[in-house]
Structure 1
Amino acid sequence: MSPRAAGLAALLTACLGAVGPAIAQQKPRQGEVPAPAELPVPSLRDMMITTPTPSGVPNAPEAKKAPEPPVDPNADLAYGAFQRGHYIAAMAEARKRVEGRRLDPAAMTLIGKLYADGLGVGRNEAEAARWFERAASLGDREAMFALGLARLQGVGGEKDPKEAADWFEKAGEIGQSEALYNLGVMRLQGENGRPDFKGAAEAFKAAGDAGQADAQYAYAALLKEGRGVDKNVEESVRWLARAAAQDQIAALVEYGIARFNGSGVEKDEADAARLFERAAERGNAIAQNRLARLYAYGRGVGRDPARAAAWHRMARAQGLSDAWLEGFVQTLSEADQAKADELSKRWEARLGPLPAAEAAVVGSGSPAPKP
């Protein structure tokens, strides 16, 4: 789970509130899955979609690579070289297209990206920002997105959150869905700790309509609580389903819970188990814990004590304890214990060790994200 996704889930929980005990602390009633544990308020940096930030920049947000510039039909040589990793050639070709007074926003955006990332040229954030400004003024949405990030982070110039939001909004108006998502996050964070739920809902919905999975998950959360939009549990679940279809891990877990409980959607324990398994196989500890309980109970899947134990161990290795499952595992036969050992080794070999940052998972009942 990326810090961005974990941060988004934490912000939503902090803004919307959370009720009920953490899942691992008590055995759920039959047919019910416990509600989420409270998560701390994250910093804005944990939620934004960003370009890679340069080393040596104080307080630079953690990086998530932004989409590569789209291939312009009139920029085959420059973008072709860029996509093949021939950055010096890409810079040379892009510069040819902006010689004199020629206005070529796609080439300007590419030059800005090369300077921002130090590809084929020395890294120079101020120069990158100047190229992004030129391209953005000519209507290039990727340049607007990049410039919004630069203003938000104070890279290549002064920090200016208001200008950042303006650029994200302008980019979103011409189809840059990641910019709309970032705008939603900024509005949800709000000024002086006061969220703009209505503005956030509008931005997340627009980004979600364009297919942005994290925005779909965020909009689902706002719909569920009726913040910034009329409360509609059934519509919330439909948005969760859209995000889950793109393997947004928090949505997989939340939609799985809805399917298991029949909350806002037809009850289907087998589908819930499949959703939990998809998230569990991507390293989500809360999904691993849910799946372990389903195998222990035989709900939605055939009862399989060994698989229950193996998934419990995977979740426990990430710091998610469960006293009930711990006691359940102690009752297993030697044969089931041996099978669980074999399954655990096989899954660990396939999934690989999880980095420390990914031990902080999201979803209902998940432990708090780690810094």
Structure 2
Amino acid sequence: MTTLSDTDPRTIARLLLEAAGQGEVDAQALLGQILLDGQGISRDAALAFTWFGIAARQGHAMALNMLGRCHEHGWGCPPDLEAAARCFQQAAERGLDWGMYNLANLLATGRGVAQDHRQAFALYLRAAELGHAKSMNLVGRYLHEGVLAEPEPQAALEWFRRSAEGGDFRGQFSYALRLLEQDRAEQARHWLERALAGGNLNFLRASRDRLLALPGLDDLALAYHRRAAELGDGSDHESYQALLARQPGSLS
């Protein structure tokens, strides 16, 4: 049986364009996403912003969230963090976990809104309880670091585990670090490898040198540097080559 995932992306784009033009709000939100990603259609961030806006004005929660992302990052519009926060707030009020997570990120860092860790934590926790893996990792970090109260290492470990199992590469890395503290090296390596497989460039850059400071993980540190070099720019390649020079016996 043929499914939508088996359909040619250009055909999906055409069908979404037709449905969006007929006022189907879900199609409008999805059309904005494929325009933003360039899937089956020419990438056009400004047109994506327009379609997100059309769907958002009808109260579509994910469209509101994505409109906020556009405002946050300047995708198809000038960056406007205050507008982003308003969009995320509306998405969160409609029960969308991604809206809660993105609004919490602004509150935690004081971007576009006054910094408020207590409100950020409450939003992360709400999203985590809905099954949002990235929020689970942030709940774990708040509890592990004792941002709002005394640290709760056992509760933090449980949230890190749930985040890792939920597929968040940062949660996988966080969980691995806690496992290493408990001398559970084999399990930790498993999650570090999973994080490497799914991690983006910013994550790899932030994590690669941290691994160098941990005993017995030189091979994984090298693998993180190598993957960053594959995804990144000249500076990432230089960092990888410098590490290779210090580890002449390592696999390249």
TM-score (norm 1): 0.49
CA distance in 2, matches of 1:149, 1:129: 10
**Superposed CA RMSD:** 3.4
Contact 2:106 2:113 in 1 (8 A): no
Please point out which of 305, 315, 321 is paired with 2:221.
315
Partner of 2:179: 256
Please state how far the C-alpha of 1:278 moved relative to its aligned partner: 1.1
1:109 aligns with 2:29: yes
1:355 aligns with 2:236: no
| Distance change in 2, residues 1:116/1:238 (3 Å) | closer
Structure 1 window deviating more from structure 2 (196-205 vs 242-251): it is: 242-251
CA distance in 1, matches of 2:215, 2:138: 24
| Distance change in 2, residues 1:288/1:274 (3 Å) | farther
> Which sections of structure 1, spanning at least 5 residues, go unmatched?
1-76, 261-268, 293-310, 320-352, 361-371
What amino acid is aligned across from residue 167 of structure 1 in structure 2? C
Contact 1:87 1:114 in 2 (8 A): no
Please state how far the C-alpha of 1:95 moved relative to its aligned partner: 3.7
What amino acid is aligned across from residue 254 of structure 1 in structure 2? L
Please state how far the C-alpha of 1:201 moved relative to its aligned partner: 0.6
CA distance in 1, matches of 2:158, 2:45: 42
Partner of 1:171: 91
Contact 1:280 1:287 in 2 (8 A): no
Please state how far the C-alpha of 1:290 moved relative to its aligned partner: 4.9
CA distance in 2, matches of 1:148, 1:317: 35
Please state how far the C-alpha of 1:103 moved relative to its aligned partner: 3.4
Q: Which has the higher helix share?
A: 2
Structural mapping, 1:46-65, within 5 Å: none
Please state how far the C-alpha of 1:150 moved relative to its aligned partner: 0.8
Structural mapping, 1:1-371, within 5 Å: 80=4, 83-84=5-6, 86-99=8-21, 102-191=22-111, 195-228=115-148, 231-246=151-166, 248-258=171-181, 260=182, 269=183, 272-282=184-194, 283=196, 290=214, 292=216, 311-315=217-221, 353-356=226-229
Please state how far the C-alpha of 1:209 moved relative to its aligned partner: 1.4
Residue by residue over 1:65-88, the C-alpha shift from the partner in whole angstroms, topping out at 9 and shown as x without a partner, is xxxxxxxxxxxx9x93xx345344
Task: Give 1 or 2 for the bigger CA radius of gyration.
Answer: 1
2:23 aligns to what SS in structure 1? coil
Contact 1:184 1:199 in 2 (8 A): yes
Contact 2:165 2:172 in 1 (8 A): no
What amino acid is aligned across from residue 250 of structure 1 in structure 2? F
| Distance change in 2, residues 1:94/1:255 (3 Å) | same
Structure 1 window deviating more from structure 2 (243-252 vs 151-160): it is: 243-252
Structure 1 window deviating more from structure 2 (223-232 vs 133-142): it is: 223-232
Please state how far the C-alpha of 1:175 moved relative to its aligned partner: 4.0
Aligned residues: 217
| Distance change in 2, residues 1:113/1:196 (3 Å) | same
What amino acid is aligned across from residue 276 of structure 1 in structure 2? A
| Distance change in 2, residues 1:157/1:278 (3 Å) | same
CA distance in 1, matches of 2:17, 2:112: 43
CA distance in 1, matches of 2:193, 2:220: 10
CA distance in 2, matches of 1:108, 1:114: 10
| Distance change in 2, residues 1:193/1:142 (3 Å) | closer
Contact 1:220 1:235 in 2 (8 A): yes
Partner of 1:28: none
2:227 aligns to what SS in structure 1? coil
Residue by residue over 1:3-60, the C-alpha shift from the partner in whole angstroms, topping out at 9 and shown as x without a partner, is xxxxxxxxxxxxxxxxxxxxxxxxxxxxxxxxxxxxxxxxxxxxxxxxxxxxxxxxxx
CA distance in 1, matches of 2:72, 2:145: 29
What amino acid is aligned across from residue 278 of structure 1 in structure 2? H
Contact 2:157 2:175 in 1 (8 A): no
Residue by residue over 1:237-257, the C-alpha shift from the partner in whole angstroms, topping out at 9 and shown as x without a partner, is 322232233353222223314
Contact 2:82 2:112 in 1 (8 A): no
Please state how far the C-alpha of 1:316 moved relative to its aligned partner: 5.8
What amino acid is aligned across from residue 158 of structure 1 in structure 2? P
2:164 aligns to what SS in structure 1? helix
2:159 aligns to what SS in structure 1? helix
Residue by residue over 1:218-244, the C-alpha shift from the partner in whole angstroms, topping out at 9 and shown as x without a partner, is 112212333246653432232223223
Contact 1:217 1:243 in 2 (8 A): yes
CA distance in 2, matches of 1:191, 1:91: 34
CA distance in 2, matches of 1:201, 1:140: 25
Please state how far the C-alpha of 1:173 moved relative to its aligned partner: 3.4
